[in-house]
Amino acid sequence: MNSQITQLASKYLLPVLIVISVIVFFRGHHHPGGGFIAALIAATAIIFNAMVTETGSVYKRLFSHPVRLVAAGMSFCFLAAFAGLLESRPLFYGYWTEIKLPLVNKISLGTPLLFDAGVFLVVTGSLLTVFLLILEEIEWK
Amino acid sequence: MEIILAITIGMLYSAGIYLLLRRSVTKLILGIILLSNATNLLVFISGGLTTGNPPFIPVNEELPPSGIADPLPQALVLTALVIGLGIIAYTMVLKYKYHDETGNEDFDNAKETDR
Amino acid sequence: MTGLPILIPFLAMIFLAVSGTRIILQKIIAVATSLVLLVVAVFILIRVDQEGIMVMYAGGWKAPIGISLVIDSFSALLLVATAIVGFCMSIYAVKGLDEKRHQTKYYLFFFGMIMGINGAFITGDIFNMYVWFEVMLMASFILMVLGNEREQLEGGLKYMTISLLGSLLFLAGIGILYGHAGTLNLAHLSMKFREIDLPPAMNIALALLMTAFAIKSAAFPFFFWLPSSYHTPPPAVSALFAGLLTKVGIYAMVRIVTLFFDAYDQFWHGLLLVISGFTMVVGAVAAFSQTDIRRVLSFSIISQMGYLIMGLGFFTPLGIAAAIYFMLHNILVKTNLFLVAGIVGRTEGSYNLGAMGGWYQKFPGITLLYFLSAMALAGFPPLSGFFGKFLLAKAGLESQHELITGISIFTALITVAYMFKIWNGVFWKQTQDIKWEGRERPEFSMVFPSTFLTVLILYLGLGAGPVFDILQKTAGQLLDPSGYIGSVLEYENTL
C-alpha cells in the first residue's frame, strides 16, 4: 500500500494503539476491556503496520515468531490453571495480591490476570500468524 | 424489540440455508457466516432483552442493582463469536487452497470422494 | 486430578508449538505424553470405581454457578478408551506418517483433538461441552486436510460444512435451553426437567440437541458426510477419527437422554430405535457394495453406530450396559481395522480390493491381527463383538422389541459378509502375478499398536465377565441420575 497518508497514519497510530491496548488490558477485570479486546487492538495496530510496510520488517521487530507468542500465552494459561492444583485447590483457583505503585495508586495482581495475559498473547500471536501468512501470499496493492 | 429480532433471526436462517444449498463454494461459506450470526443472535435474545441496564456493579458496592441484564448470554455469545471467528478464518483458507488445487467452484464437480 | 486429562495434552501442545521442525523431539514428546495420559486415565478409572463420582468446580465456583468438571464411571471408561487409542496412534504415527505432515505439526493437532475429546467427556456443563466439541472439531478439520492433497481438501470441505451445521444446531439448542431453564449445568438442568413443568419450547431445544448429536455420530439421515471424507486423510488420521470422533456424539447423546428425558417417554425412545434400525441396515448394505477397504470400513462405522443407538433406545439397565460395552469394543476394533488397512495400503500403494491378495502367505502375523479384529466386529464367540451383540439382543427381547432385535441380527450377518469380502480380497485370495520385491515392509512401530489393540480386544472378549460387572454399575449410575445430580450439586438425596 503506497499511499503516503496511510503510511504516515500507521507510523503514528502504532504506538498509540499499543498504549490503548495496555490500558484496556489492565482495566479488564472490573470494567469493559480485558485480554481478548486488548489483543485485537494490538494485533490490528501491528497488522496495519505490516500492510503499509513489508512483513519481513514486522517479523524482525516482533520479539519472536508469532507462533512462539501463542506458545508463551498457552503456558501462561496453563500456569494460571495449574496454580490451584498445587495446594489441592480446584483448577483456575484465583490467588490475588496488591502492589502499591507510585503513579497509579495500587494494582491487583493475580492468577486471573496471568490467564488474561495468556489470552492476550494467544490471540495476538494467532491473529498475527494468520494475517502475516496471508499478507505474504497475496500481493497487497 | 424481541419480535423484530426474532424476525431478523428467521430471515438470517432462511437466507443462510438458501445460500448453503447453492452449488457455489463461496456462497456456501457466506451461508455458514449468516447461519452462525443467526445462531449467535438467537442465543443472545434467549435470556430476554433488558434495555438500559448493563450488568455492571457500581463503584463502592458489593452487589449489582436489581433488574440488570443477564450477563451470561452475553458471555456465551462472546465465546461463540470467538469460535466463529476462528472457524470462518479456517473456511476461507480451506476454500482458497481448494480453489488453488482444483480450480473448481461448483459443488456439482466435487464428486471425487463419493465414488 | 479431575482436570489432568485436559491439562496434560495442553502442556504437550505448548512444547510441540515451540518445537519448530525438530521432528524427533516431537515424536518423543508425543509418545511420552500419551503414555502419561494412559496411566492417569487408568488411575482415574480405579479411583472413580472405588470412591464414586469425582467433581471439581473450576475456580472454586460451586455448581450451578461455575463450570463443574464431573467424572462418573461412564466418563472414566471413555477416558481410558481415548487414552488407549491415543497411545496406539502416537506410536503408529512415528513411522506411519510422512515427514511433510510431521513438519506441519501433526502431533500438535493430534493432542488438540485428544484434549477436546477428553474435555467433552469430563465437563458437567452443556455450554462447556459445546466449547470442547469445537476444540475437537477445529483440530479435526486441520488434521483432515493436513498435507493439502486434492482429495483431502474436497473431503475436508464436505466434512467441515456438515460438522459446522451440527455445531450451530447444538448452540441454538443451548440458547433455547438456557432461555427457558435458566441454567447450563447438566445436573441442575436434569433436576429442572424432573421437577418443573417446562414449556413446550424445551422440546424444540431437545430436538435441536439430538439432531446435532445425530450429525456428529453419523446416525441414519445424517451419515453421508462420513464415507465421503473419512477415507481421504492418511491412516494415522483416519484411524483416530474412526475410533473416537463419532463416539463423542454418542456420548453426548447418552448424557442428554439419561439426564433430560423422561424414562417413560415413548416418543424419543421409539424414535431412537427407528433411527438405529435404519442406521444399521443402510450402513451395512452400503459397506458391502464398496470396493475400497477404507470406504468399506467407513460405512461399517455407520452400521455399528446403529447398535449403540439401539442399546440407548431400549433404555433398560442391560441395554445401556450392553451399549457401553459395544462402544468400548467398537472404539478398539475400529481403530485396529483402520490401522491394519493403513499397513496394507502402505505396502500395496492402493486400497482397492481388486488389485491385491496373497497376504495370508506373505504376512501371517498381520493376517492374524486382521482376522481377530474382523471376527470381533462380525461377532464370533468368544470375541468381544459376540458378547456385545448377544447382550444387546437379550436386552431387546427382554424389553419386547422383537423387530429391532431381528434387524440387528440380520445386520450382523451382513457384517460377516463384508468383513469376509475384505478377508478374501486382501488376505486369502491367491494371486501369482504380485511382485513383493521392492515394496516397503511393515515397520515394527506400526505393527506394535495393532498388536496391543488386538490383545485388548481379546481381553475384552475373554474377560467379558469382570468388565461387564463394572458396566452394569455404570448403567445403574446413568439410569438413576440422582447420584450424578447429588454429587454435582451436593444435594442430599432430594430426588
pLDDT at C450: 93
pLDDT at A62: 79
Place of cell 434495555: B51
Place of cell 430405535: C273
pLDDT at A41: 93
User: From the CA of A4, how many Å to the nearest CA of chain B?
Assistant: 30
Q: How many domains does chain C have?
A: 1
C-alpha cell at C234: 492418511
Are C206 and C271 spatial neighbours (Cβ–Cβ below 8 Å)? Answer: no
DSSP-derived pairing of the beta strands C68-71 and C54-57 = antiparallel
Residue A60 is part of which domain span? 4-137
Are A25 and A116 spatial neighbours (Cβ–Cβ below 8 Å)? Answer: yes
Q: What is the mean pLDDT of chain B?
A: 87
Q: Do C154 and B98 touch (CB under 8 A)?
A: yes
Q: Which of B93, B95, B97 to mutate to test the interface with A (most CBs of A within 10 A)?
A: B93
Q: For CA atoms C340, C344, C347, C350, give the dihedral sign.
A: negative
Residue C154, amino acid:
E
DSSP C61: -
Tell whether B54 is covered by a domain: no
Tell whether B16 is covered by a domain: yes
pLDDT at C434: 66
Spatial distance between the Cα atoms of C457 and C385, rounded to a whole number of angstroms = 9
pLDDT at A141: 47
Q: Do A91 and C3 touch (CB under 8 A)?
A: yes
Q: How many domains does chain A have?
A: 1
Predicted ipTM beyond 0.85: yes
B interface with C, Cβ–Cβ < 8 A, is 20, 25, 28, 32, 35-36, 39-40, 42-48, 72-73, 76, 79-80, 83, 86-87, 90-91, 94-95, 97-98, 101-102, 110, 112-114
Q: Do A91 and C59 touch (CB under 8 A)?
A: yes
pLDDT at C81: 95
CATH of the domain at B38: 1.10.287.3510
Q: Indicate the range of A40-49, A69-78, A92-101, C393-402 predicted with least confidence.
A: A92-101
For residue B114, list chain C residues with Cβ-Cβ distance below 8 A. Answer: 227-228
- The DSSP line for B33-56 is HHHHHHHHHHHHHHT---SS--S-
Residue C403, amino acid:
L
Helices (H), C146-225: 150-181, 186-195, 201-216
Q: For the residues B57-77, what does the mean pLDDT come to?
A: 82
For residue B82, list chain A residues with Cβ-Cβ distance below 8 A. Answer: 36
C-alpha cell at C167: 455445531
**How many CB atoms neighbour CB A37 within 10 A?**
17
Label residue A98 by pLDDT band (50, 70, 90): confident
Q: For the residues A93-102, what does the mean pLDDT come to?
A: 74
DSSP C232: S
Write down which chains contact chain C via at least 3 CB pairs under 8 A. Answer: A, B
pLDDT at A139: 60
Q: For the residues B38-45, what does the mean pLDDT come to?
A: 92
Residue B96 is part of which domain span? 2-49+69-108
Q: Do C153 and B98 touch (CB under 8 A)?
A: yes
β-partners of residue C125 are C185
Three-state DSSP class for residue A125: helix
Number of H helices, E strands in chain A: 5, 2
Q: Do C174 and B76 touch (CB under 8 A)?
A: yes
Place of cell 456439482: B108
Label residue C492 by pLDDT band (50, 70, 90): very low
Q: Does C57 touch chain A (CB under 8 A)?
A: yes
pTM over 0.90? The answer is yes
For residue C59, list chain A residues with Cβ-Cβ distance below 8 A. Answer: 84, 90-94
pLDDT at B102: 85
Q: How many residues does chain C have?
A: 495
Spatial distance between the Cα atoms of C223 and C299, rounded to a whole number of angstroms = 9
Q: Does B85 touch chain A (CB under 8 A)?
A: no
* From A31, A36, A130, residue closest to B89, measured CB to CB: A130
Residue B73, amino acid:
P
pLDDT at A140: 54
Number of A to B CB contacts under 8 A, please give it: 6
Label residue C437 by pLDDT band (50, 70, 90): low
Q: Does C131 touch chain B (CB under 8 A)?
A: yes
Looking at the predicted structure, is the pLDDT value of residue A101 above 80?
A: no
Tell whether C115 is covered by a domain: no
pLDDT at C493: 39
Q: What is the mean pLDDT of chain C?
A: 88
> What does the CA dihedral A64, A66, A72, A76 come to, rounded to 10 degrees?
130
Number of B to C CB contacts under 8 A, please give it: 90
Task: Give the percent of chain C with pLDDT over 90.
Answer: 51
Q: Do A78 and C10 touch (CB under 8 A)?
A: yes
Q: Does C145 touch chain B (CB under 8 A)?
A: yes
Q: Does A36 touch chain B (CB under 8 A)?
A: yes
pLDDT at C147: 86
* pLDDT tens per residue across span C223-233: 989 999 998 99
pLDDT at C494: 36
Q: How many domains does chain B have?
A: 1
* pLDDT tens per residue across span C36-60: 999 999 999 999 988 888 888 887 7
Which one, of C236, C275, C250, C225, lies nearest residue C327 by Cα? Answer: C250
Spatial distance between the Cα atoms of B105 and A26, rounded to a whole number of angstroms = 46
* pLDDT tens per residue across span B46-56: 877 888 887 77
Q: Does B72 touch chain A (CB under 8 A)?
A: no
* From C145, C155, C160, residue closest to B113, measured CB to CB: C155
User: From the CA of A16, how many Å to the nearest CA of chain C?
Assistant: 31
Q: Does A81 touch chain C (CB under 8 A)?
A: yes
Q: For the residues C209-225, what does the mean pLDDT come to?
A: 92
Q: For the residues C140-156, what does the mean pLDDT come to?
A: 90
Tell whether C210 is covered by a domain: no
pLDDT at A1: 63
Residue C473 is part of which domain span? 262-431+441-481
Q: Indicate the range of A17-26, B91-100, C261-270, C468-477 predicted with least confidence.
A: C261-270
Q: Does A61 touch chain C (CB under 8 A)?
A: no
Which one, of A17, A32, A30, A34, lies nearest residue A119 by Cα? Answer: A34
Q: Indicate the range of A95-99, C161-165, C455-459 predicted with least confidence.
A: A95-99
pLDDT at A103: 67
Spatial distance between the Cα atoms of C437 and C29, rounded to a whole number of angstroms = 35
* pLDDT tens per residue across span B62-71: 787 777 888 8
pLDDT at C381: 82
